[in-house]
């Protein structure tokens, strides 16, 4: 299955192929602060399954993880393991006030 999403302003678009390795909610302090939210809802994809268009910037929130965001509107898009193996891509299914854009594909998981 192909899933697409993007940032608030549209400067960054991303697409994932296949199914996520897992879908989790992380309540750790770093995720809370980085997301400005009680938790970080994300789906984990192999880096090779993700393609990105547009300009992003990032900062390290820990030694192991970079947080990636849109340079223009600041939407938080991904977290990236700095060992280069996996990307956690923030993916719809949350009911928090995080600025999630709904995917354009149907059949996405609701959580």
Return the residues of window 38-77 that contact Zn ion according to CB under 5 A: 70, 72-73
Q: Would you state the structure tokens that stand for residue 103, as one six-digit string?
A: 């995917």
Classified as helix, coil or strand, 46 is strand
**Is 11 among the residues that bind Zn ion (CB under 5 A)?**
yes
Site string for Zn ion, 75-94 (x = CB under 5 A): --------------------
Q: Using alpha carbons only, what angle is made at residue 75 by residues 19 and 25, rounded to the nearest 5 degrees?
A: 45
C-alpha distances in Å from residue 17, one per residue of 11, 22, 50: 20, 14, 7
Q: How near is the Cβ of 107 to Zn ion at its closest, in Å?
A: 26
* Residues lying near Zn ion in the complex (CB under 5 A): 7, 9, 11, 26, 28, 31, 70, 72-73
């Amino acid at each position: 299955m192909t899933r697409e999403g993007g940032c608030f302003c549209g400067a960054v678009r991303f697409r994932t192929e296949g199914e996520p390795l897992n879908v989790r909610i992380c309540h750790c302090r770093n995720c809370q602060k980085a997301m400005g939210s009680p938790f970080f809802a994300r789906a984990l994809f192999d880096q090779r399954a993700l393609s990105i268009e547009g300009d992003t910037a990032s900062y390290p929130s820990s030694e192991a993880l970079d947080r990636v965001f849109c340079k223009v509107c600041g939407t938080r898009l991904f977290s990236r393991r700095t060992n280069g193996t996996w990307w956690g891509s923030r993916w719809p299914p949350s009911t928090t006030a995080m600025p999630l854009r709904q995917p354009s594909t149907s059949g996405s998981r609701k959580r």
